[in-house]
């Protein structure tokens, strides 16, 4: 009887660099993705703090609940904002170990999607490492609810995600998406979906010190029932696909891939973090396992997306 080989951990082949403006702070920052040894995980490193560098592991326990973005903190006043699009790209491309150096308070928004980070990862190259890829298998339903919003994890043999949104604007209205993810499906079906916002909220956001770097170059802007971006939408249901993109990035704050089905209804960054906290609060709700080569949803064939 043939023994199934375990899937190995992956990191980048070489460092790669980009610069850009932060969506909320409006501050320009340089970002470098660096290879990291097996079992490092995803580690953010602020290198702009005088006299020292500050490292913050990408883990839900270091995340602060926020409705507008996902923010990490070291607990002593240093933060890193808007990590979700980069985290989504790392998860979607199957990167287990990476050190992310940043010389500012916020990850560059780039074009508002995960696609530029997927491009960087592909340009850097991906290499297998000696360590076995461990994943978290969800063993029973975990659910959190806040008003009309909910988020849940269900046991499954692969990772898949479903999301549902409903807005009064006819440009968005009711949208739903369901996809079983692998790197091909992530790049094709999810990665290019951009963050979005409403024109009538711009002044309020900026008065609160948020959205200072937002523009039609990096945000899909909706005015009433109209999309203002000259190029229109990249997907007919780009809005819900971006919500799925955000959730993928936020769920990677578990510290490893999940074998589970995620369902989100009007869910937010804060609610996804609360879902992970609920999962980890019950040790009987998950276990570690190794990923075998037959678990194709993590290694190669693409799965069809349905709406």
Backbone angles phi and psi of 221, in degrees to 5: -105, 130
75 CA to centre of own chain: 22
Nearest-angstrom CA–CA distance, 241 and 188: 11
Q: Which of 106, 25, 24 is nearest to 73 (CA)?
A: 106
Residue 200 designated active-site? no
The three-class DSSP label of residue 67 is coil
14, burial (CB in 10 Å: exposed 0-12, middle 13-18, buried 19+) = exposed
Distances in Å between the Cα of 31 and the Cα atoms of 50, 104, 123, 153, 233 are 17, 9, 15, 32, 27
Nearest-angstrom CA–CA distance, 104 and 114: 19
110 CA to centre of own chain: 14
Would you give the DSSP letter of residue 22? B
Measured between its terminal Cα atoms, the distance across the chain in Å is 41
Question: How many CB atoms are located within 10 Å of the residue 203 CB?
Answer: 10
* Residue 97 contacts residue 40 (beta carbons within 8 Å): yes
Pairing of strands 63-64, 160-166: unpaired
Q: Which of 170, 143, 166, 90 is nearest to 262 (CA)?
A: 143
Active-site residue, selected from the candidate residues 24, 134, 242, 269: 269
Q: Which residues are catalytic?
A: 269
């Amino acid at each position: 009887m043939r023994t199934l080989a375990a899937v190995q951990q992956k990191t980048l082949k070489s460092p790669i660099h980009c610069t850009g403006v932060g969506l909320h702070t409006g501050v320009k920052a340089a970002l470098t993705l660096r290879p990291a040894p097996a079992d490092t995980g995803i580690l953010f490193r602020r290198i702009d703090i005088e006299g020292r560098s500050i490292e913050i592991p990408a883990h839900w326990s270091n995340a602060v609940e926020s409705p507008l973005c996902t923010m990490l903190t070291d607990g002593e006043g240093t933060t890193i904002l808007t990590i979700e699009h980069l985290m989504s790209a790392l998860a979607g491309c199957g990167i287990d170990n990476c050190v992310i150096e940043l010389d500012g308070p916020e990850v560059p928004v780039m074009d508002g999607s995960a696609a530029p980070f997927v491009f960087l990862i592909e340009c850097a190259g991906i290499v297998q490492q000696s360590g076995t890829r461990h994943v978290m298998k969800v063993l029973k339903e975990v659910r959190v609810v806040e008003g009309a919003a909910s988020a849940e994890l269900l046991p499954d043999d692969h990772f898949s995600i479903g999301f549902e949104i409903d807005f009064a604007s006819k440009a968005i209205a009711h949208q739903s998406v369901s996809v079983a993810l692998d790197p091909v499906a992530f790049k094709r079906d999810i990665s290019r979906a951009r963050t979005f916002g409403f024109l009538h909220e711009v002044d309020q956001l900026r008065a609160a010190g948020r959205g200072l770097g937002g523009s039609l170059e990096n945000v899909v802007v909706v005015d009433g029932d109209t999309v203002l971006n000259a190029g229109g939408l990249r997907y007919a249901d780009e809005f819900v696909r971006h919500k799925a993109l955000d959730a993928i990035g936020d769920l990677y704050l578990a510290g490893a891939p999940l074998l589970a089905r995620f369902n989100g209804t009007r869910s937010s960054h804060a609610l996804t973090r609360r879902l992970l906290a609920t999962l980890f609060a019950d040790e009987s709700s998950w276990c570690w396992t190794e990923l075998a080569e037959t678990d194709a949803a993590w290694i190669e064939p693409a799965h069809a997306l349905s709406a």
